[in-house]
Amino acid sequence: MIQINGLTKIYKLNAKKMQELKTKENKKVAVNNVSLEARPGEIFGLLGPNGAGKTTTLRCVATLLKPTKGSVSVCGFDTQKEGQKVRDSIAFLTNEIKLDPNFSADYMFKFFGRLHGMSEEQIVARQEELFGVFGINDFKNKKIEELSTGMKQKAAIAVSLVHDPKVVIFDEPTSGLDIVTARSVTDYLKHLRDMGKTVIVSTHIMSEAEKLSDRIGVIIAGQKVEEGTLAEILQRNEAVDLEDAFFKLYSKYNPEKK
Amino acid sequence: MNGMSIIIKKELKRVFGDKKLVFSMFILPAIIMIALYGIMGFMIGKMNSDIEENVNKVYVVNSDDRMKNAITASGFDKTNDITYLNEADFRAKEQDIRDEVLNGDAQLVVYMDKDFNQKFTSYTDSSSPVPQIKLSYNTTENYSQNTYGMFATGVLEIYRTGLLQERVGSLDVLNVFDLEDDIIEKEEKANSRFISMMLPYMIVIMLFAGAMSVGVDAMAGEKERGTLASMLLSPVNRTAIAGGKIIAMMILSGLSAIVYVVSMMIAMPVMSAMGGGESEMAGGFGGLSLSLVEGLQLAAIMLALVFLFVAVISFMAIRAKDTKAASSLISPIYIVVMVAGMLTMFMSGKEVPITRYFIPVYGNAVAIKDICNGELVTSNFLASLAGTVIIAILLTIGIAKAFDDEKVMFNA
């Protein structure tokens, strides 16, 4: 279970960043008063354009960033006060966080298993299961740097799940993957949901969000502008599909169009 | 603690699991150092034998028989091609001869006053004119410089002695006292004079270079690649992650420094064996003998220095955006460290006050110098350790805080 209450994240900008962003403001509101809930046994899809605040929100959940205002709890643990317990309860995957390219998938899996306090037997059993599911055994001893994008992503997913976490947070997990690999990833996310895990997936691929998500939240310009099941969102926005609904929301809330 | 040891093992495996990295970090520097010193020795030896074997062209102008006898008596004519000229011939060719010296075709011109003999024999008191010998040579040419040295110290001494004897009869009347040198010094200090001058500087820069080679990539490199963030997502305390990385870097840079020092110990005798001569430098570490306590003191100081350098480099590298920025930040510190090490080379024998031993790097370099000279007292040893370790601990706390700082870790 993930509970986000009134999450606000404001970045302070130095002169260089202000120049880059062409702004006179010395701060940027990345996430503005967002509240949402992801429950066990469901996949929560987080939608939004680039720079909307999806990754910042997920990083706050993963304890990598501290909220400026509001609170986030994971499995009942406060992210600011009980960071270590939160990190032990989650799998977090994002394109910017990578496995060390100098090691093999096999070593990385065991390394993170040990960091999570697992015994060697537990690690081996878990490795057999996950490497089997993602077909990693054939290249498990190759260095990460020698693997293709798809192989790297599979290895990263397997490593992130080593400790069998209750909560899975994947930021654009199928980005850059071929259709076959992307399918195996989404299938496994459904499997995790069926096992009662709480899954949050951020994406900007509408078709993927439609097929995968039990409930969907839409973030635009740092604000949550919609939350509900696909049917609820389509009804409220008088849309024929999620893409249609998204563009209606985007034209309504995009600050550049206001 | 368990998390820390897992991270230490991983960091060590990153290096020792990669044959290329092991070769470039530990084996290649040793090979290069030994080869470099060997080549240096060979080149010095070759240069020396070339100078000795070269037949130098020497012009002697207005020579008398006494000068010719002195040249023969000193053996100078055996290794040099001597041309005797009179005043008229010399004046006719003077510019050509000077050009020969300038171009390295001739090595020395000995010009004696044309009325040398007359001035010598007519000498009565200090108001009488004194004859002159002018030596023209080229200081930018080794052969010329060497020929000048041989002539001035060999031939001219014999010539001068002969003339003096002729003037005063017996040379004994010129001897007004005998000089005896009574050298009072500590044997170990005398034996290790060169090494005590060089070792502090060498240890300081080698430890820093070792720490820099692993520290920049382990911090800024991992941050740049996004692999550090993956560790921050683990339930291990971030202080333990920082500590694990620092300890692993200390082990690696310490090993790297040991490789450098051992290589140098091997390289210096190699330089001597290759013809570099029996100089103090070529003698290398031969003059250094340490007691067990001094050995342990040296090890403790090196360990403290490694701790400080790893902490400084990590502190800067973790704040840098990427490895390039980290290297730019660290380069000025490298210069400061080099200067601090170098300062001990130019120290007089004056006692250093204990407060200076507290200055990191400089205090350690002075303490290492004292160890080589067998002069390090316990209070100074402890002061040099305390200053360094306290700064290193403060920096380590700063690094641990940086691991928890989203602005540093994620440029947030």
Residues B344 and B391: their CA atoms lie apart, in Å, by 21
A213 backbone φψ class: left, alpha, beta (φ>0; ψ -120 to 50): beta
Helical ranges in B284-322 per DSSP H: 292-319
Mean pLDDT of B282-308: 78
Shortest alpha-carbon distance between residue B319 and chain A (Å): 15
Kindly determine whether residue B227 and residue A100, on different chains, have CB atoms separated by under 8 Å. yes
- Would the pLDDT of B398 be above 90? yes
φ, ψ for residue B100 (rounded to 5)?
A: -60, -45
Burial, A165: exposed, middle or buried (Cβ in 10 Å; 0-12, 13-18, 19+)?
buried
- Would the pLDDT of B267 be above 80? no
Average pLDDT, chain B: 86
Domain ranges of chain A: 2-257
Q: Does B234 touch chain A (CB under 8 A)?
A: yes
- What is the crossing angle of helices A149-160 and A105-115, to 10°? 20
Of A62, A103, A107, the CB nearest to B233: A62
Kindly determine whether residue A98 and residue B225, on different chains, have CB atoms separated by under 8 Å. yes
Kindly determine whether residue B234 and residue A112, on different chains, have CB atoms separated by under 8 Å. yes
Specify the fold of A2-257: Rossmann fold (3.40.50)
pLDDT of residue B260: 77
Give the residue carrying structure tokens 């008088």. A238
Locate the chain B residue with the closest alpha carbon to A27: B412
Q: Does A27 touch chain B (CB under 8 A)?
A: no
Residues B343 and B366: their CA atoms lie apart, in Å, by 9
Residues A142 and A2: their CA atoms lie apart, in Å, by 36
**Between residues A249 and B53, the one the model is more confident about:** A249
Q: Does A103 touch chain B (CB under 8 A)?
A: yes
- Tokens describing residue B364: 């350690």
Assess contact for A113 and A126: CB atoms under 8 A. Answer: yes
DSSP code, position A143 = B
Give the model confidence (pLDDT) of B100-128 as tens digits: 999 999 999 999 998 898 888 888 777 88
Q: Does A111 touch chain B (CB under 8 A)?
A: yes
Q: Measuring CA to CA, how many Å separate A181 from each of A152, A162, A186?
A: 11, 19, 9
pLDDT of residue B282: 47
Mean pLDDT of B56-85: 92
pLDDT of residue B190: 64
Give the model confidence (pLDDT) of B244-266 as tens digits: 999 999 999 888 878 877 887 77
Residues B407 and B14: their CA atoms lie apart, in Å, by 27
- Would the pLDDT of B318 be above 90? yes
Mean pLDDT of B270-283: 58
φ, ψ for residue A161 (rounded to 5)?
A: -100, 5
pLDDT of residue B283: 47
Assess contact for B312 and B329: CB atoms under 8 A. Answer: no
Q: Is the dihedral of CA B112, B115, B121, B123 positive or negative?
A: negative
Q: Which residues contact B324 (CB under 8 A, 6 or more apart)?
A: none
Assess contact for B186 and B374: CB atoms under 8 A. Answer: yes
List A215's β-bridge partners, or say none.
A44
- Would the pLDDT of B47 be above 90? no
b/e sequence B95-124, b meaning 16+ C-beta within 10 Å = eebeebbeeeebbbbbbbbeebeeebeeee
pLDDT of residue B287: 56
Assess contact for B24 and B256: CB atoms under 8 A. Answer: no
Taking 50 as the pLDDT cut, the residues of chain A under it are none
| Half-sphere exposure for B30 (CA within 13 Å, toward CB) | 15
Instruction: Give percent of chain B above pLDDT 90.
Output: 42
Give the model confidence (pLDDT) of A77-129 as tens digits: 999 999 999 999 999 998 888 899 989 999 999 999 999 999 999 999 999 99
Residues B185 and B349: their CA atoms lie apart, in Å, by 12
Kindly calculate the radius of gyration of chain A based on its CA atoms and give it in whole angstroms: 19
Instruction: Give percent of chain B above pLDDT 70.
Output: 93
pLDDT of residue B275: 62
Q: Measuring CA to CA, how many Å separate A164 from each of B6, B132, B140?
A: 20, 99, 77
**Between residues B32 and B84, the one the model is more confident about:** B84
Going by their DSSP bridges, the two strands A77-78 and A69-74 should be labelled as antiparallel
φ, ψ for residue A239 (rounded to 5)?
A: -115, 155
List B283's β-bridge partners, or say none.
none
Give the residue carrying structure tokens 């298993």. A113
Give the model confidence (pLDDT) of B158-183 as tens digits: 999 999 888 888 878 778 888 888 87
Q: Does A97 touch chain B (CB under 8 A)?
A: yes
Domain ranges of chain B: 2-45+188-410, 54-173
Selected from 1.20.120, 3.30.70, 1.20.144, 3.40.190, the CATH number assigned to the domain covering B54-173 reads: 3.40.190
Report the run of H or E that residue B59 belongs to, with start and end: strand B56-61
- Tokens describing residue A79: 């992210």
b/e sequence B193-227, b meaning 16+ C-beta within 10 Å = ebbbbbbbbbbbbbbbbbbbbbbbbbbbbbbbbbb
Residues B65 and B389: their CA atoms lie apart, in Å, by 74
Q: Could you tell me how many CB contacts below 8 A there are between chain A and chain B? A: 68
Residues A113 and A222: their CA atoms lie apart, in Å, by 35
Residues B148 and A192: their CA atoms lie apart, in Å, by 91
> C-alpha angle A172/A173/A174, rounded to 5°?
95
Q: Smallest Cα–Cα separation from B327: which of B317, B337, B319, B318?
A: B317
Residues A74 and B11: their CA atoms lie apart, in Å, by 31
Give the model confidence (pLDDT) of B320-354 as tens digits: 988 999 999 999 999 999 999 888 887 766 788 99
Q: Does A141 touch chain B (CB under 8 A)?
A: no
DSSP code, position B76 = H
Residues B130 and B116: their CA atoms lie apart, in Å, by 8
- What is the crossing angle of helices B2-16 and A105-115, to 10°? 160
Locate the chain A residue with the closest alpha carbon to B241: A115
Residues B396 and A251: their CA atoms lie apart, in Å, by 50
Assess contact for B296 and B379: CB atoms under 8 A. Answer: no
Shortest alpha-carbon distance between residue A210 and chain B (Å): 29
- Would the pLDDT of B288 be above 80? no
Q: Does B163 touch chain A (CB under 8 A)?
A: no
Residues B98 and B104: their CA atoms lie apart, in Å, by 10
Kindly determine whether residue B234 and residue A99, on different chains, have CB atoms separated by under 8 Å. no
Residues A258 and A233: their CA atoms lie apart, in Å, by 22
- Would the pLDDT of B285 be above 60? no
